[in-house]
Chains A and B, each alone.
Chain A
Amino acid sequence: AQTVTQSQPEMSVQEAETVTLSCTYDTSESDYYLFWYKQPPSRQMILVIRQEAYKQQNATENRFSVNFQKAAKSFSLKISDSQLGDAAMYFCAYKSDNSGYALNFGKGTSLLVTP
Chain B
Amino acid sequence: DTGVSQDPRHKITKRGQNVTFRCDPISEHNRLYWYRQTLGQGPEFLTYFQNEAQLEKSRLLSDRFSAERPKGSFSTLEIQRTEQGDSAMYLCASSSSPTSGFQETQYFGPGTRLLVL
Residues of A bordering B, CB below 8 Å: 4, 33, 37, 43-47, 50, 52, 91, 93, 100-108
B:38-59 near A, CB below 8 Å: 40-45, 48, 55-56, 58
Q: Which residues on B sit within 8 Å (CB–CB) of A101?
A: 31, 33, 48, 55-56
Q: Indicate if the CB atoms of B105 and A103 lie closer than 8 Å.
A: no
Residue from B33, B55, B56, B110 within 8 A of A44 (CB atoms): B110
- 4 additional A-B pairs beyond A52-B103, A103-B45, A108-B42, beta carbons within 8 Å, are A43-B110, A102-B56, A103-B93, A105-B44
- State how many angstroms separate the Cβ of B97 from the closest Cβ of chain A: 10
User: Considering the chains assembled together, what is the distance between the CA atoms of A104 and B106 in angstroms?
Assistant: 12
- State how many angstroms separate the Cβ of A8 from the closest Cβ of chain B: 14
Residues of B bordering A, CB below 8 Å: 3-4, 31, 33, 35, 40-45, 48, 55-56, 58, 91, 93, 103, 105-111
Report the tally of A-B residue pairs with Cβ distances under 8 A: 51
User: Considering the chains assembled together, what is the distance between the CA atoms of A102 and B36 in angstroms?
Assistant: 12
Q: Which residues on A sit within 8 Å (CB–CB) of B44?
A: 105
Kindly list the 7 A-B residue pairs having the minimum CB-CB distance in the complex, ordered from nearest: A105-B42, A102-B45, A45-B108, A44-B110, A101-B48, A91-B42, A105-B43
User: Considering the chains assembled together, what is the distance between the CA atoms of A76 and B106 in angstroms?
Assistant: 20
Question: A91-B42, A91-B43, A107-B41 known; A102 and B48 CB under 8 Å?
Answer: yes
Interface-centre pick from B3, B40, B43, B105 (highest chain A CB count, 10 A): B43
Q: Indicate if the CB atoms of B45 and A44 lie closer than 8 Å.
A: no
The closest CB in chain B to the CB of A97 belongs to B98
User: Considering the chains assembled together, what is the distance between the CA atoms of A82 and B92 in angstroms?
Assistant: 29
- State how many angstroms separate the Cβ of B82 from the closest Cβ of chain A: 23
Q: Which residues on A sit within 8 Å (CB–CB) of B41?
A: 107-108
Q: Which residues on A sit within 8 Å (CB–CB) of B105?
A: 47, 50
